[in-house]
Chains A and B, each alone.
Chain A
Amino acid sequence: MKNKLREVLSVNNLKKSFILHNQNSFELPVFNNISFSLSKGECLVLSGSSGTGKSTLLRSIYGNYLTHLGEINIYHNQSWINLVGAPPHLILDVRKQTLGYVSQFLRVIPRISTLDLVAEPLLSRGEIEVNSINRAKDILQKLAIPENLWNLPPATFSGGEQQRVNIAITFVRDFPILLLDEPTASLDTKNKQAVIDLIKNAKDNGTAIIGIFHDESVRDSVGTTIFNIEEAKKAA
């Protein structure tokens, strides 16, 4: 039984399809009637083979993909709001305060140093510079990014380093809800463990997480619930 009071996100009958207007308005259905809920401290693992719509589901929740049918209810600023059809500035506010997203690839402004990139979200939230920089340093240290790289832009970093910078940019803030799209895909065992520790720590502090983890060891060590998107689609 789930405790209703601890719930922070609930998805009801969500549908997503792509209409490709330049290919004779071909409609590509992705999923239909997806429902689940998420509580504080829970880590919901999306499973299903490649191309079943796991990333699409994460992106839909984040508002990166537009959905028309169904509901994405999220607990934001002490009240529940539905993100489907929400005005853009409200979604931006949710992204700033409540909902964090770690994508598969790092996409940042060129030529800005790693440290500044990680500190920026804190600065733009109005925190003072010294604190922001210190917290950025702290998280980069935890993720084992070598200190001599901090003042370089991440464009020239290795794949694994870029991915950890990407994780740092999101984890430096304490989001109540996190969406993780394969955060450990190109990491070696040691660095994977650092990320697992970070996720576990967040979970223990009450962060609710939805994640895609192809790596079974990661899935087993952080996951609390499995949501199989293929089975959910069959049931729908």
Chain B
Amino acid sequence: MTPNKETPLLRVTELSHYYGDQVGCEEINLEVYNGEVLGIVGESGSGKTTLLKIISGLLPPTQGTIEFDKRIEGSSDIYQMSEPERRLLMRTDWGIIYQNPKDGLRMNVSAGANVGERLMAVGARNYSYIRAESNDWLNKVEMDLGRIDHFPKTFSGGMLQRLQIARNLITKPRLVFMDEPTSGLDVSVQARLLDLVRGLVNQLGISCVIVSHDLGVMRLLSHRLMVMKSGKVVEQGLTDQVLDDPQAPYTQLLVSSILPV
């Protein structure tokens, strides 16, 4: 069997979204396969986050379809499902990691509860099991276990981001959406976080859609790259090909603007 006959985990067809007469994103087609990391780059206002919101079930698009390959039912349009079905998907098979960790965490419950909550949402009720799993995941994201009962508001930005990752990955999602996961973190914390994400994605075989404007992050994490400008996809292909041999005028400008370190 050749992999191109596989059903993609996520398939987006002819997707457009308008804010009034303002273009959010236009005519987007994309596919994400199992174990694949898709990166979306583009300048501010190019529609990256709009696209991510739509395909992660947070914003119904003006037109177009988003199909997710469900474990049992197979490929289904996420906006044709009932709300409870979509919600279930969001807390089991999907993970969403927000740019601002405060959007993805509960700031007024402990770190351990933040991580354990998703397990409870899929039916876990045994307290010691939840506690053990939470500890295990906090360990995986290199968190100090002494902090498990502390509130996230006492955590630094890097710790919050790692807590958010643990909270999302504990239910072993098949697809994780990340919006600028490392922006706002200093370089050394950023590097550690990237190692962590990369390692986890490799080990667990998770598919990812990552939005970022940092091309270095993309070269490290993503297999495929999509370049957006003014709501449209101007180029897509293998990450190293897009960065080493960019075809579109905008991508050439983008790549040639990287500052050497």
Answer whether A and B are interacting partners: yes
Q: Give me the interface of A with B, judged by CB distance under 8 Å.
A: 18-22, 59, 63-66, 77, 79, 81, 87-93, 109-112, 120, 123-124
Q: How far is the CB of A117 from chain B (nearest CB, A)?
A: 12
Q: Establish whether residues B244 and A65, one from each chain, have CB atoms under 8 Å apart when the complex forms.
A: yes
Chain A residues with CB under 8 Å of B195's CB are 109, 111-112
The answer, among A20, A66, A79, A89, for a CB contact under 8 Å with B241, is A66
CA distance A120 to B253 in the complex (A): 34
- Residue contact B198 to A22, C-beta cutoff 8 Å: no
Contact (Cβ within 8 A) A89 B237: no
The residues of A that contact B244 with a CB separation of less than 8 Å are 59, 64-65
Chain B interfacial positions (CB closer than 8 Å to A)? 2-4, 33, 36, 191, 194-195, 198, 202, 220, 223-224, 236-238, 240-241, 244-245, 247-249, 252-253, 256
Q: Name 7 A/B residue pairs within 8 A (Cβ), A-sorted.
A: A66-B247, A81-B2, A89-B36, A91-B238, A109-B195, A109-B198, A109-B220
Contacts of A79 in B (CB 8 A): 2
**Roughly how many angstroms separate A181 CA and B223 CA in the complex, as a whole number?**
22
Bound-complex Cα distance A87 to B195 (A): 27
- How far is B247's CA from A73's CA once the two chains are assembled, in angstroms? 23
For the complex formed, measure the closest distance between the CB of B61 and the CB atoms of chain A, giving whole angstroms.
24
The answer, among A65, A88, A123, for a CB contact under 8 Å with B245, is: A65
Q: Chain B residues with Cβ under 8 A from A64's Cβ?
A: 238, 240-241, 244-245
Residue among A63, A65, A81, A88 having the largest count of chain B Cβ atoms under 10 Å: A88
Residues of B close to A110: CB separation below 8 A: 191
In the complex, residue of chain A having the shortest beta-carbon distance to the beta carbon of B194:
A109
CB contact between A111 and one of B3, B191, B237, B252 (< 8 Å): that residue: B191
Distance between A169 CB and nearest chain B CB, rounded to angstroms: 15
CB distance from A38 to the nearest CB of B (A): 22
Chain A residues closer than 8 Å to B249, beta-carbon distance: 21-22
Q: Which residues of B contact A91 (CB under 8 A)?
A: 238
A63/B191 in contact, CB under 8 A: no
**A-chain residues with CB within 8 Å of residue B202 when the two chains form the complex:** 120, 123-124
A20 vs B256: C-alpha distance when bound (angstroms): 11
Say yes or no: A89 contacts B253, CB within 8 Å: no
A123 to B252, CA, bound (A): 35
Provide the residues of chain B in CB contact with A19, threshold 8 Å: 247
B252–A63 touching, CB < 8 Å: no
- State the Cβ distance, A184 to closest chain B Cβ, in Å: 23
Expressed in whole angstroms, the minimum distance between the Cβ of A11 and any Cβ of chain B is: 17
B residues less than 8 Å from A90 (CB atoms): 2-4
> CB-nearest residue of chain A relative to B36?
A89
Give CA–CA (A205, B202) in the complex, Å.
Answer: 30
Q: Are B237 and A66 in contact (CB under 8 A)?
A: yes
Most buried by B among A19, A87, A89, A91: A89
A66→B33 contact, CB < 8 A: no
Q: List, in ascending order, chain B residues with CB within 8 A of A123's CB.
A: 202
Across the A-B interface, the 10 shortest Cβ-Cβ residue pairs = A21-B249, A65-B245, A88-B238, A88-B224, A93-B3, A89-B33, A21-B252, A90-B4, A66-B245, A64-B240
Q: B246 CB to closest chain A CB, in angstroms?
A: 9
A88 close to B237 (CB less than 8 A): yes
Partner of B238, one of A20, A92, A109, A120: A92
* Chain B hits for A124, CB < 8 A: 202
B2: chain A residues at CB < 8 Å are: 77, 79, 81, 90, 93
